[in-house]
Amino acid sequence: MSGGPWGRLVRDATTYEGTLRPVPTGSDTEVRPPESVERFVRQLAKAYKAVRLYPASSDIATGAAEVSVDALAVCFEERPELTLSVGRGALGYAGIPVFPDDPTMLDFAREFYGKRLAEVRFAEGVDAAEIARFLVLLNRKDEELVSGDDFEAWMWDANIVNVTVSMATTVIADAGAEESDTSAFASLSTRDIDELIAGAFAGRKRDHQMLIRVVEDQHGLTRYLEQSAREYAGDHAGTWVAGRVGAIAHVLSGEPTEVRTQLYGSIAESVMSLDDDVRHEAIQDGLLPTALHDDVVAEVVRGLDLDDLCGVLASGLEESAESREGLARALRNLLMIGGGTREEIIEAARTALTDAGASPQAISEVVSQATPTQLEVEEPAPQEAEESPLSRVLKLMDAVPSGDEAEDEDPAIAALRGEAKRGVTNADIARVLAAVAWLQTDEATFGAIISHLEDYLGLLLDREEYADALSVIDVLFDAAMDEERPPEQRARVVAALKLLLEERTVRSIAHALGRYDEGSEEYDACVRLLKRLGAPAVPTLLEVLADEPDHSQRKILVDVLTGSADDYLDELSAYLGDNRWYLVRNIVSVIGSAHDPRAVALLQRTIRYPEPRVRRETLRSGVQVGGRAASGLLEAGLGDDDGENVRLSMQLLAQVDPAACAKGAAAVAAGAGAGDTSRETRLAAVELLSHLELDEASASLERLAAIRGFKVRGVNRDVRDAAKAALGRAGS
């Protein structure tokens, strides 16, 4: 695989953190557990499947368990005990994930994870019956576990002694609590969890998995938020909590939808369980404003119950215009992020305000401000000189209000607010973040910046601001290829760039090509983006090509692929056997533009494709890419059962190898060819022979003209007459 950093960076799982680290170009190696361990885990998964489908005492289940024991015996030749660690996404050995990308093994690992197992140890002496009994316990429903000790109790009752487990428990430390909440792994302080968040941002997989377990325990998460707010935020506990919530949500944003929904639900419940003052500030002054420009936080907010949310907002209403404006602003933010329909939100707000004892006048004023019919914005004062986006964004960052501003705002701040109204774009902010990230050396801070940059980059792509997105992506690609940058940072950048390979993103860019004029800035940006994405984007592009009904749009995509055909041969070749002939024909056309010697060999695979139009394109592409080297391909075309393909083969062969053409055309004209022998094809062969200035061609014509006896009838007579006419023209 070639193109950008994709071909130079692979997963290095030596620490079971899933980080990507650079390897020498051309290396396809991946750190993996010993083959004996992989074989055992695979056989254990098969045995588990057998136990699920058949009684444990059945021959099938017992046989599968015996095979796994045989595989385990090989492991015991190297070590007296085999220990597997349990993660949410894979089992692990010595810190290395076992089959991390295999969906079947992912489901198997989750059975261990669901039983809250941290480690499973297999000791010498374990037999098939013991393995089978263990797998039967593993198949019991997760809901049957009342406490973390139950699984071990089950194992004791089942007389399982050569398989032992360690349970996963995490304690959120609280010196003031009489009891401690159990959650997932080991004793963690608030600072420990802060470090987990920072590590997860930096791409450390183990920190990510541990953080997931913390979030799954809603009570433990609530305690963490409360304690960290007290320790670090003081009077600004709510805004601190909002920041922590946003950070955790971003770490979890890459989880599958179902899992992410559950985790975000736990976060939402934790927020709603906070003390009243902290909860109100976190939602009104932290989460809702952030959600306007942060889709991840917006998803968390949308998970809050609307009535409860409005109740929290209403509980903070005071008898002041500033308080009413703050509540109205929060409701406007809720409307803008899709927290409900306008009618639902206003109705919930009215009910909450009424329950909170607000006066009808106050309710009317808040609702009126929350849903204005017209907005008026004062025009900003003109500036003497235009500042760069970087300067403008940094000034805005420096001018973030602390919450203690005087009633009369400083004129300079007022001017800056006016400038903000005129608009610092998302592209400006993204470019600044990219520039700041480039200078950042702290790993955790770098990871946090890249996470924010991912959000802005996604926003630019969603809005189809491709030229602006490209300027940011160029910086990220340079960072990924910068060998002086720490490997962890380069890996984090590659992980961010991989988000661009999502199918919807590639499809959006591909479809956008058809909306812009060739040569325009937008068109060129889309082409450069697709080239930047490189070979990993090719499968999606081919699917877009296959689905595209418009001929002009298909031509654009073919042209884009053609421009980098040499880099994409491996990806293109994978589709040469596809049953969609129209797609294969286009792929053959793209291969024909390559200069790589392998292209001719690839075309040998389509010269026998069932659809004649694909074979026809193969002949054209063969000459285009191989010249004389394609002679064998064209000779094979002479045996095609499609007459048009045989005639095309003769014409093209005459250009690259006249001698071979003379021999092949003579056989076709005589009706002795392996392919089509229709009248039209044989006469075309005679005509072609007449234009070849070779002795072999003239001799063939003379033999055809000399046909005698019973053979001279029908097509043979037409061929003889055509050969005589050709000789006559040559002699005149």
| pLDDT tens profile 176-222 | 443 334 433 335 677 778 777 877 776 667 677 778 888 887 777 88
| pLDDT tens profile 336-345 | 777 677 778 8
67 pLDDT more than 70: yes
| pLDDT tens profile 284-325 | 888 888 887 778 888 888 888 888 888 888 888 877 777 788
Specify the 3-state DSSP secondary structure of 638. coil
Specify the 3-state DSSP secondary structure of 598. helix
376 pLDDT more than 50: no
What pLDDT is stored for residue 613 in this prediction? 92
* Average confidence (pLDDT) over 498-524: 80
690 pLDDT more than 50: yes
What pLDDT is stored for residue 334 in this prediction? 80
377 pLDDT more than 70: no
Nearest C-alpha neighbor of 653 from the set 615, 675, 680, 626: 626
| pLDDT tens profile 92-119 | 888 788 888 777 788 888 888 878 788 8
| pLDDT tens profile 393-419 | 555 555 544 444 445 556 655 655 555
- The first and second tokens of residue 233, run together, are 């935020």
Triad 110, 115, 121: Cα angle to 5°: 90
What pLDDT is stored for residue 373 in this prediction? 45
| pLDDT tens profile 477-501 | 777 777 777 888 788 778 777 777 7
* Average confidence (pLDDT) over 532-549: 82
The answer to whether residues 274 and 325 touch, using CB atoms and an 8 Å cutoff, is no
What pLDDT is stored for residue 2 in this prediction? 40
Q: How many angstroms separate the CA atoms of 203 and 495, rounded? A: 8
CB burial of residue 546 (10 Å; 0-12, 13-18, 19+): middle
Mean residue pLDDT across the chain: 76
601 pLDDT more than 70: yes
